[in-house]
Each structure stands twice: as structure tokens, then as C-alpha cells.
Amino acid sequence: MIGGLGGHYEKIIPILLTLSICLLTGCGSEPVKNSSTVSNEEENVTSEMVTEEKKSETDAKGTTEIILDFDGEQIEGVLDNSKTSENFLKLLPLTLDMTRFYDREYAAGLGETLSQEGKIIDDFENGDITYYIEGNALAIFFDKADSSDQGGLIRMGKITSDLDKLIQMDGDRKVTISVKEQEKMTQDFKQFSNIIISGVDTENLGEEEREVLYQYARYWQALTDADMEVLDEMIEDNSTFTHMSGRTQTKQEYLADIEDGSLNYTKVEIQNPVMTVEGDTATVNCTTVLTANAYGARGSWPFSGTRSFEKQNGTWKVINR
């Protein structure tokens, strides 16, 4: 058995299913500002500096769906078609270190000054996605609107997910914001040059089915590339690997053999994958054919099985079932 797979297929390698998107733009580019504190600094950066390639597409109703990833927990929202929102959308995808204030909002300074041609509001409503003008900051409000007196805001949109998710969070968070369609575009299976997926149309899969299959393919691509950084991220530290000979390895031993070329995967074919998603659990059933040079033995080895997943804090993880 190659790389701990085969007869114990359901018990190997938990995979962290989350996509990290962090551009330098806005990624800690300004200190977080409290939306109730006036900033003494003004940025002289105009929205025209942002390239046309980052323009987002709006739907027929003039709104744009976005995803806000709070350290792996996804929150959804919509932005309006104002000039302020248009400027903000040109920054996406964007990662910010957001500070939690007064258990009512998450806020972070922006690296770009946005247009003020939007809906200026006297005070926020719970669920508002806003631009705080004087602080040049993004402020997302989720609670305590009934006891607030906060002006200087432009409403750009609304959180559409259950606000309890934000209320129950604690502490500051790293938040990646992207257009919902961009999120799907990042799951480009064509980038996996050593992976063949057959028996399924990846473009017609549901969002969660596609995400699970994408991460399965990403794992195998990392093995063929001997990408230690990705493998270390995706493989749980206490994982063990059992080979066809019966030999068992720890994660560290297994990755050392991948890194020095003792175990060299060259091509992987994922055949007829079937993803079933029910609430926060999912299964993937498929045949995987590995082509490799395994300790001097060259060949292709097929194995079939079912892999189980569970969504924990917004992230799909492999579980042993």
C-alpha cells in the first residue's frame, strides 16, 4: 500500500479544507482604528490606482455577494452598487486584521480611501457593512444597535448570514473578504498538472461538493510536487501511514521520504468521485490510481474507498469513520 492508503483508507490524513487568500493590499497595511475615534491621517490614494482587472461583477439586482472568512468560519453578505462599494470591491480579495470593539463590531483600517458617494446613515443597524469615513476603515456591525449613537458611516451592504455567528465569536480575527464568484474561481482544477479527474463534471458540482473534491486534488498535487509547506498544513501531526508491506510511519518519517525522493509520486488519477453532503457531514467515494516510484519499485497502484468529512467551525476536515 502506497503512502498509508488502501485498506485503511478511511483513517488517514485529516485535510484542512480552507482556502487562504491573503494579498499584500490592505494586509496589515494600516493599524486598526476604532470607528468611534477620529483619525488624524488622510490617505491620498484614489480608487483609480486600482487596476480594472479587480472590478467585480454585480448581479441583475445591482448587488454583489461576498464571502467574509473569519479565520476559517465563513460569513456571507451583500454589497450595494454605490460608488463607495464599487471602490471597495476593486480591493478584493483582501485580508485584514480586524479588531473586535465593544462586542458590537469588527473594524480595520483600509489601505485605500473610498469614495463618499454612498448612503450616509445617522447610526448603524445590526448587520450593516459600513465605511467609517473619518477613520478610513471598514466596520461590520452585528449587535447593540438599540444602544448606539454612531455617525460618520456609509452603509455599503448587509451581512446575510445569521448574526449569532458573529456574536458568538471572541477576540480579534484575520478576515479574508472576496466576491463569492471569485471564491469559486480560485478552485481551478486545471492548476493541478499531475492530477487527472475522470467521471465527474467539476463545473456542475455544488459549492461544498466542489470544495471537498478540490482539496482532495490539492493534497495529491502537493505530494507529486513534494510541496512540504502544503503537506505540513494539510496533514495532522499525529497521522500515521501504513504501506503495503505493513510498515508504519509517522507524519515526520513519511514527509522525509517524500522530500528526499525515496517515495516519489508522479501522477494521480481520481476516478468517478461521488460526494454526498448532509448538513455538516460529507463523504467522498472514489477510486484513486497512484503512479509512483516507491522505494525503487515503479508502477501504478489503484485503491478504492470512502472518505468521511465533518465541517468544524466552517472548515471541512477528514474524520475517521
Model confidence pLDDT, tens digit, residues 44-54:
333 333 333 33
Cα four-point dihedral sign 147, 149, 153, 155: positive
Torsions phi, psi of 196, nearest 5?
Answer: -115, 125
Q: In which region does residue 312 sit, left (phi positive, over 0), alpha (psi from -120 to 50) or beta (all else)?
A: beta
- Taking each continuous run of H as one helix and of E as one strand, the counts in the chain are 6, 16
Closest by CA position to 315, among listed 140, 74, 47: 74
Q: Mapped to the 3 state alphabet, what secondary structure does 112-164 carry?
A: CCCCCCCEEECCCCCCEEEEECCCCEEEEECCCHHHCCCCCEEEEEEECCCCH
Locus of grid cell 476603515? 137
The pLDDT value recorded for residue 144 is 94
Distances (CA, A) of 303 to 1, 100, 135, 207: 9, 48, 57, 26
Query: Is the pTM for the entire model greater than 0.95?
Result: no
Residue scoring higher pLDDT (29 or 179): 179
Q: How confident is residue 315, by pLDDT bands cut at 50, 70 and 90? A: low
Q: How confident is residue 72, by pLDDT bands cut at 50, 70 and 90? A: confident
Gyration radius of the chain over CA positions:
23
Residues comprising the chain, all counted = 321
Q: Is the model's pLDDT at 9 over the cut of 50?
A: no
* Percent of the chain whose pLDDT exceeds 70: 75
Torsions phi, psi of 272, nearest 5?
Answer: 50, 50
Q: Is the model's pLDDT at 149 over the cut of 90?
A: no
Architecture of domain 47-184: Beta Barrel (2.40)
Residues of the chain with CATH 3.10.450.50: 9-18+187-319
52-56, 126-130, 277-281: least confidently modelled range: 52-56
Residues of the chain with CATH 2.40.100.20: 47-184
Amino acid letter, 18: T
Contact by Cβ (8 Å): 211, 277: no
Statement: 9-18+187-319 belongs to CATH 3.20.20.150:
no
Side-chain-side CA neighbours of 223 within 13 Å: the count stands at: 29
Report which listed range, 159-168, 213-222, 237-246, is most confident: 159-168
Exposure class string for 179-211: b at 16+ Cβ within 10 A, else e: bbebbbeebeeeebebbebeebebeebeebbbb
Pairwise CA distance, residues 26 & 12, whole Å:
38
Q: Is the model's pLDDT at 303 over the cut of 60?
A: yes
- Cell numbers describing residue 319: 474524520
Q: Is the model's pLDDT at 118 over the cut of 60?
A: yes
Pairwise CA distance, residues 242 & 301, whole Å:
15
Q: How confident is residue 109, by pLDDT bands cut at 50, 70 and 90? A: very high
